[in-house]
Amino acid sequence: MKKGILNYLKRTFIALLAMYTVGCALLYYFQEKMLFHPESIERSVEYSYAFDFEEKFYEVEKGVELNTLLFSSDSTSTEPGKLIFFIHGNGGTLKTLGGIIPNFTDRGYDCFLYDYRGYGKSDGIIDSEEKLFTDAQLLYSEMKKLYGEENIIVVGYSIGTGIASWLAANNSPHKLILEAPYFSMKNLMKNKYPIVPSFLLRYPLESDKYLKDTKCPIFIFHGDKDQSIPFSSSQKLKKLHPKINLTPLSGVGHTGLAQHKKYQEMLSEILSN
């Protein structure tokens, strides 16, 4: 009887171990489906916005073009233009992101947005962290030619905050704004899936390390009711890098940050100098 129980436990353990191993393998090879939620649209689709904009495609590698939009501000200033370089989250496309534009154009900033590979009209697929970074760098370099880094503010939202942090660490924008950032993707995964080894993550997106090398002023907005990326992530970043200006948004979840009065007030202050 005792031997039978031991054999049963052994078989159960082996089965569970096999399931765990298969689960880890699936996570490793298919994690893009967990992290990114692209929606493709036909190139023939015409964007419709109540603001002036220019649509353009940039080739990031042979046969792969990314779709971009550059919105013009309402500014009548004769000084060199100022630009928001915006990196969006893991959902949505340029077709659905129009709501954020007035937050910046109404304050005198042009606004540049792009779709990741496989999103919207952009070609290709996301298959490495390196390509996320190199794509962002290529587009940022194009904007530097038009505006000069002293006139560019990088803004990242959600998963885009890791890319924005990397970009700021490897360049010299005027300022960096992060909306609902994670400490690092490794840290976020550890909190949500503690039994999964962190070395399996092919998109570590280590914002905590990138911000250490960021020389420009850093501002963070984060809702204290965020269920996707906990507010504690921003608190940890602030603790690690005291130079960060953290603005908690009371009662706000992962979306709707811009509707908060405190966000609007602080954004006006950030963009006014």
| Tens digit of each residue's pLDDT, the chain (273 residues) | 566 666 655 666 565 555 545 555 556 556 788 889 999 999 999 999 988 999 999 999 999 999 999 999 976 554 668 999 999 999 999 999 888 999 999 999 999 999 999 999 999 999 999 999 999 999 999 999 999 999 999 999 999 999 999 999 999 999 999 999 999 988 887 777 666 666 678 899 999 999 999 999 999 999 999 999 999 999 999 999 999 999 999 999 999 999 999 999 999 999 998
**Residue 131 pLDDT:** 97
Question: Are 222 and 246 a contacting pair, CB within 8 Å?
Answer: yes
The amino acid present at 99, given as its one-letter code, is: G
- Backbone φ/ψ region at 85: left (φ over 0), alpha (ψ -120 to 50), beta: beta
Supply the CATH classification number for the domain 36-271: 3.40.50.1820
Task: State how far the Cα of 242 lies from the Cα of 30, in Å rounded to an integer.
Answer: 36
Note the pLDDT tens digit of each residue in 45-65: 999 998 899 999 999 999 999
Could you tell me which residues come within 8 angstroms of residue 158 by beta carbon, excluding any fewer than 6 positions away? 88, 89, 90, 179, 180, 181, 228, 229, 254
Q: Is 3 helix (H, G, I), strand (E, B) or coil?
A: helix
Question: What strands lie across the sheet with 64-71, from one edge to the other?
Answer: 53-61, 64-71, 110-114, 83-87, 152-157, 175-179, 218-223, 245-249
The amino acid present at 61, given as its one-letter code, is: E
Note the pLDDT tens digit of each residue in 92-125: 999 998 889 999 999 999 999 999 999 999 999 9
DSSP E strand boundaries for the chain = 53-61, 64-71, 83-87, 110-114, 152-157, 175-179, 218-223, 245-249
Question: Are 47 and 69 a contacting pair, CB within 8 Å?
Answer: yes
Give the residue extent of every domain in the chain: 36-271
Question: Dihedrals φ, ψ of 154, to 5°?
Answer: -90, 130
User: What length does the chain have?
Assistant: 273
Question: Which value, to the nearest 10 degrees, does the dihedral of the CA atoms of residues 60, 63, 66, 69 take?
Answer: 110
Q: Is 233 helix (H, G, I), strand (E, B) or coil?
A: helix
